[in-house]
Every structure is written in C-alpha cells, then in structure tokens.
Structure 1
Amino acid sequence: MTITQSSQAPLVVIGGATGNQGGSVLRYLKDSDKEYRIRALTRDSTKPKAKALANLGAEVISIDLKPENQDKIEKAYAGADVVFVSVTEPNAPIYPLTDIHGQAVTNFWEHVDKQREINEGKAMIDAGVAAGVKLFIFSSLPSPENKSKGAISNVHHFEGKARIEEYGRTKSSPTFQFVAVQAGFYDSNIIGQQLVRKEGDGTWVYRTPISADTLVPSIDIDEYGLWVRAIIEHKEVREDGRAVPADAEDISLRDMITAITKATGTPIKIVDNMPYDEFVKTFPEGTPPHVIEDLGVDMWKFHAKDGYFLGVDTKWPLKYLAHKPSTFAEWLKKADLSEYTK
C-alpha cells in the first residue's frame, strides 16, 4: 500500500527518516495494509535519500532536532498522531569511531556527550507534549547502571537513552502516551571491520574481553520497523507498560563468526576472555577515555553478567509482528560479505 495524503489517515512523524531505524519504520508503515500519512524529518531534505522519500509520498522536512530548535520541533510535530524518534544508532562503529548514521536524531556518537544527548531527547519529548502528540515512540536502550545498582555506570551510549526514557515516562498522561522500543544487537556490526578486524598480515581476528559464547539478541536493522509498527497497530503492545525489545534471535558471537567463515571460506580467529587492560589497547589512538570506559570495559561487563537486555523477557512482542523476523543466518544470505574475500 502506498503512503496516503488523506486527512482521514493517521499522521506519523518519523525522526531520522533517512537513517537505519527511521528508514525501516517508514518502509514497514508503507507496506502495511493500513493507511498512513508520513512526515519524514531529516537534516537535509535535498539529499537523494530524502528526495526518494518525497517520491513515495512522504512530506519531507529539514530540521535538526536540538534543544535550541524547540519551536521548530513543535511545528514539525504539529498535527501528529504518532511521533517516532530514532536516537543514535545504538551499535556504533568502533573501528574507527566515525561514519555515524543518525540523522535528525539525538546523536551520541557525533559528540560522545551523554548529557547533551539527554538534553536533546528531553527537548523532543517536551515538543511532543506541547504539540499534542497522542503516541510518542522513543528508541531507547536498557540501563546497566540501574540493574547493577551503580556498579556498572560507564555504558554511556545506553545510559543517555535510558535517562531520556525515564523522563518520557514521567510525561505520560491520558493525552500523551509514551512507549519505548529497544533495539537489539545489529547483525551488521559483524561487518565493516567493527568487531571483526583484518590484521596487518591479512588474517581476520575477533577479539573480546568476555567469552565468545555469550549470547546477544541479534536483529536485522532493516527489520527494526516491525516492532515499531506493532506498537502503532496493536493496543496490547502500546499499553503493555514495558519497553518493547527488538530481539529476533539470541545467538553467540562465536556462532555468528563461524557462520561467516562458512559463508565466505575465510578463517576468522577468535581471541576471547582477553584481560581488559589488553583489550582496550586495540582501540584507535586518540579514542576518548570515557568511550574506552564504555565500549572497552563496562559494555562487555554487563553483557557477561546480565545480558544485553538485562534478563527481561524479549520474546513477548513477536506474536504481534507483521512477519517473523530474520535469523542471523537469513540475514547473511543478503549481506555484503565481500570484505572477507578480498
């Protein structure tokens, strides 16, 4: 079904509509058997991706969703039945710490400043309340700090989003429904030399300070919109009260890497349970200390102790999805794995 212009259809405003999460949400709403009006927010509406959305029938608006643009954000949300805000992609590139994807979103990896991200997220929520948005869907992440009672406090790229989620819940009311959706581990983190890296001698190596048998909740980011669409279209999901976990399959990194080797014929050496002081030496020179604390230490500690989703039930939303999400093996069949064979 195509995007409609009918005033009878709900208006959904999508932040970061040309990014991974926002783009997936737009595609899944476009493919629904229900009709939606779409207002796509992006930093630059003149770029090809933005123009492509306009060609689909979306209203495309250029805006930077920052606290200093509060009035503009409210106008961008005006008349919306639903707002989806896509925060910084939760699984950011580690090697090197560049090539960030989020657009018209809170962007931790752009400035690696947790408090700034929190301020940006609060501004979006406040704008949603002021604009009379009925349903506000925020892309969040769990809080290892809360789960560990402060023992694991440096997973900054999770905690900023968790603090925004907490703030959003304080704003919930009969006229402003706030729902958090939390993305699992992107399958695509396994490519692009993010976790598996090619060494100077041409060998491929995966290094981790925890066991490679630790399970992670994997997700094909192209399918992220499945969970957001379920929130919009199913009252049971909207009103459940829990954050909605986007988890297609629990799989170990060892099994992911084994599958890549099988698919490409390229051996990948696994070096796990590394001492933390040795593991952090693998980060690029000049990586900020608080990023090393985050991506080099505490992120792995909470994975090993409580798991990515901190032990909560992640499978309850699956029955509400428009189709079964892809497994890692299914994602591999469409992934560009050419880097492993060059």
Structure 2
Amino acid sequence: MSARIVTVFGATGAQGGGVARALLERGGSWKVRGVTRNPESEKAKALTALGAEMVKASLDDKESIKRAVAGSYAAFVVTNYWEIMDAARETKQGKDAADACKEVGVKHYIYSGLENVKRIAGIDVPHFDAKGEVEDYLPSVGLPYTIIRFPAYYDFWPKSGQKQDDGTYALTMCMGKDPLHGLAVSDAGPAVASILENREEYIGKTIGLSGDCRPVSEYTDVLTKNTNKTYKYVEVDYETFAKFGFPGADDMAMMFKFYRTDKFHRDIELTRKLNPKVQTFEDYVKANRATIDAI
C-alpha cells in the first residue's frame, strides 16, 4: 500500500511540529505534508530535509485550506489563539478547516481542541471557548474526527519563573494545593501517530492528554531538585492574576479557575497507552536541565 498523506497544520510550530516529526520518524505508511505560511523559513526547510512536503496555506483562507488537504488521508489541525487574540476568528478558522476537509474527502480529522468552558462551567475563558465552539460544531459536519485536548505545557513553566531579589525563581499561579495536569508538548506527536494507526478505536472520541498531575508546589520542588536554580510557588487570587497586565492575563486567571473544577479532565493512563514514552515532569526537567539552567 502506498504511503497515505497526513496534512499537518502549524507544522513549524510546537504542536504541529511535534506531530510532523513523529510521523516522519515512523515513516512507512505515512507521508507528511506540512502547512505553513512561509515554506522558505528555516523551520520549514528543516522539515523538508526530514522528508516532509511543505505547502503554503492560511487558516484564514478556506480555498487555500482545500488546496492544502486535497488528496490527504488525514489532517491534524491546530489553531493559535495567542497569535491572533480573536476568539471569533479562531473559531471560524477551525470550522472552515473542518468544512474544507469534508469537502475534499479527508478520512480522519484530528483537531487540537479545548473545552467550551462558558457553556459547561459558566466561566469565560476565550482561548478555550474559541476551540470549544469548533468541538461543538464537529459532529454536524459528517467528517470522521478525533479531538485531542492538551493540558498546561511543561515547556512554559521554567520560562515563567520570575527571578526574585534573593535569587530564587517565583512561579506564580492560582492553583492553591489543587493538582495541575501537564505535558511536554513534544509528547503529543507520538500520541497523534498512535491515534492515526488505530483509527477505528478513536473516531468520534475526545482524548485529554497528560503526562503528570501534581500540585504546583511539587512541580517547583522538582525544578529545584534537578536544576541549579531554586524555584518557589507563589499563590495569588484570580483577581490579582487578572491585573498583571500582560495580554490575556484575565483569560488565564479564569483558566486556572476552570482547572480547579470537576469539569476539567485529562487522562494520564490513556496518554501512556498512546505514547508509552510520555515524560513525567521530572523526566522532562532531567532531559532539559541545561536549557532550563540557561534561561
């Protein structure tokens, strides 16, 4: 059987790049078509060197989406709220991508989604809700789909540590003593590859990915134990976090509020089934100690 094309949107980004590389490493039955706005970028050229076909398209242009996915067996679609900061625009991107894939006959649509928090919990979290509206739309399209949902990224936490006058690094969140799910963004790629290879088992399913779950104070303890820096967890209330002043601070404050409800679910056991090599946070820190120390 000839290799089947998987079109990966956001192929030069963190999520899409991880999926593209995981499929390229497996080779054999998969051929990767990476979608980017700039096929001449260094990241795009690096994927080309690994065997990907890179094509130009924009999620804001449905016709370009259709051209990108034409002839594909499957598509992995991720949209980036933080790049555009426009929930309605992001929702339109996700819906247009689904419609385009349906129109050209894609057999498996894998969408990187998140919960519609406003609908299910009455909390406004725009960067979740934009994707949640796409999730709610997918069953009506008539397109075979699987939804994956990420937790927080391990990758962001060391970068988020703010150096204090005493030389320690403060990781500030609104989680109290409640556990927080996390994942190394690169660990999603092998999980997506497993979903594609076991298509019938996961069609119509929503899969919450996670590699670890513990209180934030334990994550900072892991960082302190395994790096040359001392990290401390600093707890603030939602109102204080929302006023920190960076773009999306209020959005993230409400995200933490949602994380602490019984409506937020991620599945470590299923994630390990899909990717047996998924990293705990300590695995991740040990593997990336030099990078973390250099931040």
TM-score when normalising by structure 1: 0.79
Cross-structure match for 1:242: 205
Task: Find the residue that maps to 2:260 and give its secondary structure.
Answer: helix
Superposition deviation, residue 324 in structure 1 = 2.9
Native 8 Å contact 1:191 1:337 kept in 2? no
Tell me, yes or no, if the aligned pair for 1:234 and 1:320 is still in contact at 8 Å.
no
Equivalent position SS for 1:224 = helix
Give yes or no for the alignment of 1:305 onto 2:261: yes
Aligned residues: 295
CA distance change for structure 1 residues 277 and 70 in 2, over 3 Å: closer, same or farther?
closer
1:192-231 mapped onto 2 (5 Å cutoff): 192=159, 194=160, 196-199=161-164, 202-211=167-176, 213-231=177-195
SS in 1 for 2:276: coil
Residue 126 to residue 236, structure 1, CA distance change in 2 (3 Å):
closer
Please, which of 52, 62, 67 is the counterpart of residue 70 of structure 1? 62
2:212/2:268 contact within 8 Å kept: no
Instruction: Give ranges in structure 2 of 5+ residues lacking alignment.
Output: none
Partner of 1:104: none
Partner in structure 2 of residue 191 of structure 1: 158
User: Where does 1:1-342 land on structure 2 (aligned, <5 Å)?
Assistant: 8-32=2-26, 34-66=28-60, 69-88=61-80, 108-148=81-121, 150=122, 152=123, 154-172=124-142, 176-192=143-159, 194=160, 196-199=161-164, 202-211=167-176, 213-239=177-203, 241-272=204-235, 274-284=236-246, 287=247, 291-296=248-253, 298-306=254-262, 310-312=263-265, 314-315=267-268, 317-318=270-271, 320-336=273-289
Deviation at 1:282, TM superposition (A): 3.0
Backbone CA RMSD of aligned residues:
2.2
Cα distance in 2 for partners of 1:340, 1:57 equals 33
| Alpha carbons 1:237, 1:317 under 8 Å: kept | no
Q: Is the 8 A contact 1:230 1:237 kept in 2?
A: no
1:237 deviation in Å?
Answer: 3.4
Q: How far apart are 1:38 and its partner, in Å?
A: 1.4
How far does the alpha carbon of each residue in 1:234-277 deviate from its partner, in whole angstroms, 9 at most, with x for none?
135323x33111111212211111111112243333322x2333
The answer on whether the counterparts of 2:182 and 2:211 sit within 8 Å (CA) in structure 1 is yes
Amino acid corresponding to residue 52 of structure 2 in structure 1 = A
Query: Structure 1 counterpart of 2:189, which letter?
Result: G
Task: Please say if residues 137 and 179 of structure 1, whose CA atoms lie closer than 8 Å, have aligned partners that are also in contact.
Answer: yes
Superposed displacement of residue 144, structure 1? 2.4
TM-score normalised over the length of structure 2: 0.91
Aligned 8 A contact 1:83 1:133 in 2: yes
Is the alpha carbon distance of 1:322 and 1:275 closer, same or farther for their aligned partners in structure 2, counting shifts above 3 Å?
Answer: closer
Partners of 2:72 and 2:222 lie apart in 1 by 43
Residue identity (%): 28
Indicate the structure with greater helix content: 2
Mapped partners of 1:38, 1:223: distance in 2 = 18
Name the SS for the 1:83 alignment partner.
strand
Residues 283 and 137 of structure 1: is their aligned pair in 2 closer, same or farther, counting only changes over 3 Å? same
Q: Within 2, Cα distance between the matches of 1:275 and 1:85?
A: 34
1:159–1:311 Cα change, 3 Å: closer
Counterparts in 2 of 1:127 and 1:200: CA distance versus 1, 3 Å: farther
Cα distance per residue 1:94-123 (max 9 Å; x no partner): xxxxxxxxxxxxxx1122110111111111
Unmatched runs of 5 consecutive residues or more in structure 1: 1-6, 89-107
